[in-house]
């Protein structure tokens, strides 16, 4: 029951559900734990402990509220980190020293993002490790690798741009907005560099930047529809704003 997220549930609804009998025990269990990012997460616990619904192993529910957005970011960072780890471990033929340095840097940044979210989201609310599906990527082929990288980076930028407004407007929500801001510009730097590696000068072309000089912003469902092709698990985002 705890995993069935009411799509209309907002932050207030979450707090209400956290104090319901189902969640009370796990909420109290963690409330004094001094975890890095405070009670806002705890309110969103989509804990598996007392989950009686029979979900398939492959189903991953992001949850709702601020913690749902953080899980959403965690999912995307997992995908990116896994991708670049494989790229660096299986270099495509003809990878230059510069490309190796750039792709290794990006790998490290994405791992840093992933591990940050892993550390920041309390285990009770955090989604599990996802299983990526890179079967459509030819890691030996530069074009295949860089095209996939471009997809991930542009998507990451659009995802964070669209998620900023979804955090609560006060308290921890503001902290998360700042954190998302710190990450999204690094994703945009990646996107620009990957695009320039494919074709110098395409860092911010009309494919991604509109006539107002603005980047894209996408809602979770749109992002997950694109990212889903690279993830074996089925991501459930019905608790997030549509």
Partner 1 sequence: MNIFNLIREIEKVDPEVYERLDSRRAIFKHFAGFGKKLTAAAVPLAFGSMLNKAYGQTSTGRSVTQVLEFAYLLENLEAEFYKQAVTAASSVGAPAIAVSALTTIRDHEIAHVNFLKSALGTSAPMYTAASFDYSAKGNLTDTFTNYGTMLAVAQAFEDTGVRAYKGQAGYLVSNNEVLEAALKIHSVEARHAAHIRRMRRDAATGAVPTNKPWITGKDLGGLPALVQPVYNGEEATTQANVNIAGMMSGGVTISAAAASEAFDEPLTTEEVTAIVTPFLA
> Whose structure tokens read 């991930």?
152
Element (H, E) at 119: helix 97-120
* Residue 34 region by backbone torsions, left for phi larger than 0, else alpha for psi between -120 and 50, else beta: left
Closest CB to partner 1 among residues 45, 197: 197
At 72 the three-state DSSP class reads: helix
d(C-alpha 34, C-alpha 213), whole Å:
43
Closest CB to partner 1 among residues 22, 226: 226
Partners of 60 in the β-ladder? 235
CB of 78 to partner 1, least distance (A): 11
CB of 55 to partner 1, least distance (A): 27
CB of 102 to partner 1, least distance (A): 8
Closest CB to partner 1 among residues 54, 169: 169
Query: At CA 162, angle to CA 158 and CA 167, rounded to 5?
Result: 140
Question: Residue 73 is encoded by which pair of tokens?
Answer: 């970011």
Closest CB to partner 1 among residues 22, 35: 35
d(C-alpha 148, C-alpha 108), whole Å:
17
Q: Residue 90's closest CA among 19, 141, 166? A: 141
- Footprint of partner 1 on this chain (CB under 8 A)? 36-37, 81, 85, 102, 105, 107-109, 111-116, 119-120, 157, 160-162, 164-165, 167, 169-170, 173-175, 177-179, 181-193, 196, 200-201, 203-205, 209, 211-217
Instruction: Look up residue 20 and give its DSSP letter.
Output: S
Closest CB to partner 1 among residues 107, 142: 107
CB of 130 to partner 1, least distance (A): 14
CB of 117 to partner 1, least distance (A): 9
Closest CB to partner 1 among residues 2, 156: 156
At 8 the three-state DSSP class reads: coil
CB of 165 to partner 1, least distance (A): 4
At 124 the three-state DSSP class reads: coil
């Amino acid at each position: 029951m705890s995993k069935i997220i009411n799509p209309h549930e907002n932050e207030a609804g979450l707090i209400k559900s956290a104090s319901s009998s189902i969640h009370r025990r796990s909420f109290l269990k963690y409330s004094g734990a001094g975890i890095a990012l405070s009670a806002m997460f705890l309110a969103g616990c989509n804990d598996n402990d007392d989950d009686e619904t029979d979900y398939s192993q492959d189903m991953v529910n992001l949850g709702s509220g601020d913690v749902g957005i953080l899980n959403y970011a965690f999912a995307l960072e997992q995908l990116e980190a896994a991708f670049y780890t494989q790229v660096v471990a299986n270099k495509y033929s003809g990878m230059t020293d510069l490309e190796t340095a750039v792709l290794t840097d990006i790998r490290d940044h994405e791992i840093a993002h992933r591990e940050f979210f892993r550390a920041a989201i309390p285990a009770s609310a955090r989604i599990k490790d996802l299983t990526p599906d890179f079967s459509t990527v030819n890691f030996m082929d530069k074009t295949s690798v860089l095209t996939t990288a471009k997809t991930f980076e542009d998507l990451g930028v659009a995802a964070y741009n669209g998620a900023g407004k979804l955090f609560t407007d006060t308290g921890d929500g503001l902290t998360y907005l700042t954190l998302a801001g710190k990450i999204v510009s690094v994703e945009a730097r990646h996107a620009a560099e990957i695009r320039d590696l494919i074709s110098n000068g395409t860092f911010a072309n009309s494919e991604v930047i509109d006539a107002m000089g603005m980047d894209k912003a996408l809602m979770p469902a749109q992002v997950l529809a694109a990212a889903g092709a690279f993830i074996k698990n089925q991501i459930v985002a019905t608790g997030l704003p549509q």
